[in-house]
Amino acid sequence: MGPVEGYEAIERDCPSDWQLNNAPTTLEALTVALRDATALLDASMRVRIDAAILGNSPTLRVISTATTGSDHIDLQAAAEKGITVRTLKEDSQFLREITPAAELTWALVLAVARQIPKAAEHVRQGNWVREEFPGIMLNQKVLGIVGCGRIGSWVARYGEAFGMRVIGYDPYQKKWPTCIQAESLANVIATADVITIHVHLNGETRNLLTKDLLKTVKNGAIIVNTSRAGVIDEDGLLAGLQSGRLAGVGLDVLSGEPEIKSSALVEYAMTRSNLIITPHCGGYSPDAVKLVCRRAAEKIFSSEISCDHVS
């Protein structure tokens, strides 16, 4: 289930005794597809795989996601049914050179700092007044990174290349990249001119950036989140934008996605240019999709299960 590039990449590697189907990314279609499936390769995350859908999948034995996150899967329900869930979080070495999410993070930093979407629309309307678009110079500014693993480390390198001083928070980082100065979360949030977030969503990181913590950000700071919406208090984020404390925000994730029509952040972004939202496309690059889908498929094809049908 997912992009056609991923399906095509694993189609030729599929063992001859397996039947491979590309399930549409709707709840109804996936429910039907899983009724007789033994394995699911999920490269979409558009459908929540909850207890109800798992309860209607009597032969399902393994779910392998082409993502590091699994918050769209009811892990408890899967465990109760004896369904193994595999994610790319297990593959740190493999993922080291998969960079689209880090690249989108930096694209959002630049887009917010230089007001690129608004400036481009200005020209499309036949105007040419550069004074309406003052940019933030990144050189000599402080880049604060929350989560200094694979993606955070790449973003740190980009920041260093732009002449920024890089600080970071990560309680689990054992070997710090030389370009990142380790700090507490409070110091990162209060000190950085640009803050980027790169953590998995779990019980420890949910609401990691609380409303009160967001009140301590430096005036004129930029925040970019390409990890998961649940790690940051969205009401606090909106309040920071409305008050003017935050110069801008870039998001690739939203609570409730893909159902985002009722999102207060989306409503704000429709009339303001200092909030840029993209549709959780950080990892979506055909080059990367092919690689991660092949890896996710390998986990299914090498699993010790008797199966003949993968969606």
Cβ pair 48, 2 in contact under 8 A: no
Cis-peptide into 58, omega within 30 deg: no
> 296 CB contacts (<8 Å, ≥6 apart)?
41, 42, 43, 64, 65, 66, 86, 88
Catalytic: which of 86, 280, 295, 309?
280
The span from the CA of 124 to the CA of 110, in Å, is 20
Check if 86 is active-site.
no
Helix 100-113 with 150-161: angle, nearest 10 deg: 40
| Beta-bridge partners for 19 | 309
Alpha helices in 148-269 (DSSP H): 150-161, 185-191, 211-214, 234-243, 264-269
Check if 157 is active-site.
no
The span from the CA of 109 to the CA of 221, in Å, is 11
Cβ pair 212, 240 in contact under 8 A: no
The span from the CA of 142 to the CA of 99, in Å, is 22
Catalytic: which of 86, 150, 228, 295?
228
User: Can you say whether residue 181 is alpha, beta or left, with left for phi > 0 and alpha for psi between -120 and 50 degrees?
Assistant: beta
Burial of 90 (0-12, 13-18, 19+ CB in 10 A): exposed
Cβ pair 207, 228 in contact under 8 A: no
Three-state DSSP class for 202? coil
E strands in the chain:
19-20, 39-42, 62-65, 84-86, 142-146, 165-169, 181-182, 194-197, 221-225, 246-251, 275-277, 309-310
Catalytic: which of 165, 257, 272, 298?
257
Check if 257 is active-site.
yes
Active site positions, annotated: 228, 257, 280
